[in-house]
Structure 1
Amino acid sequence: MLPFRIEPERAQLLLIDLQDKMLQAVFDREKTIRNAGILIEAARTMGVPIKFTEHYPKGLGKTIPPIMEKIPPVVLPFEKIHFSCCDEMGFDEYLRDDRRDQIIISGVVSHICVLATVMDLLSQGYPVAVAADACSSRDPDHHRMACEAITAAGALVAPVETLAYQLIRRAGTEQFKTMLPFFKA
């Protein structure tokens, strides 16, 4: 994959399996949730479509309320049972619906569903950016190894702040002013 720059007109945000039972088992749960929320705010501020998946919601529950509250109500979850979203029938159409070819990812579990999905998206030619601090695994080493594998495969792995600023592009705009409070120390 060639280096790329995230463009708000080409990007969409994909949230993978931010469900209660999935998040209960990961390290830095609250940080992951907070950062996923910031990424959603950046996407909404910049007009970037938001998509989200739920892995076996019958057994693992729905997307957690702090995330659902930020997702526009017209956006429906894509239910799946495969670890890679791309293996699920209909996912390709779900993803292509907005005609956006850059994918920004937040989700759990980094070394399983996130990694498998990223690898498949890259193999299909999508430029992919992963928000490392808005993803997590049960074991920090597994998260680190997943991020290393994702980087080696050609995706951009960066913090939420980096990805948000790539979407915003410049200071002094209303969008910048909207997002600035999320990043002030």
Structure 2
Amino acid sequence: MQPFRIDPEKVQLLLIDLQEKMLPAVSDWERVARNAGILIEAGKIMDVPIKYTEHYSRGLGGTVSTVAERMPADAGSFEKIHFSCCNEAGFEEFLREEDRDQVVLSGVESHICVLGTVMDLLEIGYRVAVAADACSSRNPDHHRMACEAMASAGALVVPMETVVYQMLKRAGTEQFKAMLPFFKA
């Protein structure tokens, strides 16, 4: 996979399983929810399509309210039971609704659903970026190892702030000014 820069005209955001019974179980979950929320705000400001999954929501609950309340009304949702989103019937078509070849991921758990989805997305030709500080696992070592594996496989594994600044491309724009309050705290 050739190196790439995240382009707001080519990317879509995918949030994986940030659910009521999943997120509080992972390491540093408040940071994950906050950073996922900032990614959502950036997506809204830059007209980046936003999609999210819920893994067996009947048992694991819906998306946590701190994330769900930031979702735009047109965010696409997808229910799944497979660990890799791509193994779920209809998921590839769900992603291809947007004519974009880049996907930025946030979610849990890094070493299970996020890693599996990243590997499968790379295999089917997507350019993939992972906002590492908007992902987590119950065990921090598992998160670290998953990030290393995703990077080795060809994903761009970077902080959420890097994702946003690559999409912004430059300072001085209205989009840049709209995002500044999220980084001044």
Q: TM-score, normalised by structure 2?
A: 0.98
Q: Measure how far apart 1:72 and its partner are.
A: 1.2
3-state SS of paired residue (2:7): coil
Aligned partner of 2:132: which letter? A
8 Å CA contact 2:50, 2:76 repeated in 1: no
2:71 is equivalent to residue 93 of structure 1: no
Question: Could you report, residue by residue, the CA deviation over 1:75-117 in whole angstroms, capped at 9, with x for unpaired residues?
Answer: 2420000000000000011000011110000000000000000
For residues 14-53 of structure 1, what are the structure 2 equivalents within 5 Å? Answer: 14-53=14-53
Verify the 8 A CA contact 2:49 2:75 in the aligned structure 1.
no
Residue 58 of structure 1 aligns with which residue?
58
String of CA shifts for 1:36-82, please: whole Å, max 9, x gaps. Answer: 00111111111100000000001000001111111112324200000
Partner Cα distance (1:90, 1:68) in 2: 23
> Aligned residues, how many?
185
Deviation of 1:129 (Å): 0.3
Partner of 2:116: 116
In structure 1, distance between residues paired with 2:178 and 2:72: 18
- In 2: Cα distance, 1:32 partner to 1:110 partner: 11
Partner of residue 165, structure 1: 165
Alpha-carbon separation, structure 2, partners of 1:119 and 1:155: 8
Q: Secondary structure at the match of 2:163?
A: helix
Tell me how large the CA RMSD over aligned residues is.
0.8
Matched residues, percent identical?
69
Please list every run of at least 4 consecutive aligned residues from structure 1 whose deviation after the TM superposition is greater than 4 angstroms: none
Q: Deviations over 1:97-150 (max 9, x none)?
A: 011110000000000000000000001110000000000000000000000000
Determine the C-alpha separation between the residues in 1 that align with 2:136 and 2:50. 19
* Unpaired segments ≥5 residues, structure 1: none
TM-score (norm 1): 0.98
Secondary structure of the 1:77 match is strand
**Distance in 2 between residues matched to 1:149 and 1:86, nearest whole Å:** 18
Between 1:67-76 and 1:140-149, the stretch displaced more is: 67-76
2-side partners of 1:163 and 1:101: how far apart?
A: 16
